[in-house]
Amino acid sequence: MCYCWLRGAGTIIATSLVRAGIGRVKIIDRDFIEYHNLQRQVLFDEDDIKNELPKAIAAERHLKKVNSSVEVEGIVADVNFTNIEKLVSGTDLILDGLDNLETRYLINDVSLKHNIPWIYGGAISSYGMTLNIIPGKTACLRCFSPDSSRHRMGWTCDTAGVINPAPFIIGSLQVVEAIKILVGAELK
């Protein structure tokens, strides 16, 4: 099972994994769709906004129509230290499409604790990055940046914006790495 969040890159990740036939995809997001999301979040449309659907529920509905052989579970939740372990239980791989550094540190810690590979990804403005974090094999987020408080004043999608190609590219690269990990291909 793969686990992902629905920001710009998250919609690309979820769509690509379901289209690739990944057996089970769990989507966690607390937010509702807004018009300004539509330029970069390919899973949603204006009807989802009119129907006031949470992102996770709208994504589940759309993705079940794409590939009925994949089990898609949309969960409306605010991921935090009280529920993250339960949410990732039984997961083979975590992919993040987040815009929240504090939650990424939670993912880092639970990934290491439960030996679950995590593919970090982020896009902002016209920039993006991705990193495979494989417990016991690669460096982790805290290895690069031990203290999350140093980054609190950084750019966000709200302050810097994001153009739609950036999350498309980053999400696509994350899925390439996810498929390699899930099929046991050598990481290169």
Q: 8-20 and 165-182 helices cross at what angle (nearest 10)?
A: 40
For 54, which DSSP code?
Answer: B
For 187, which DSSP code?
Answer: P
Among 2, 4, 140, 157, the one annotated catalytic = 157
Q: 55-66 and 8-20 helices cross at what angle (nearest 10)?
A: 30
Is-catalytic flag, 157? yes
Relative to beta strand 127-133, strand 118-124 is antiparallel
Find all residues with CB under 8 Å of 82, minimum gap 6, and list them.
Answer: none
Q: Catalytic residues, which ones?
A: 157
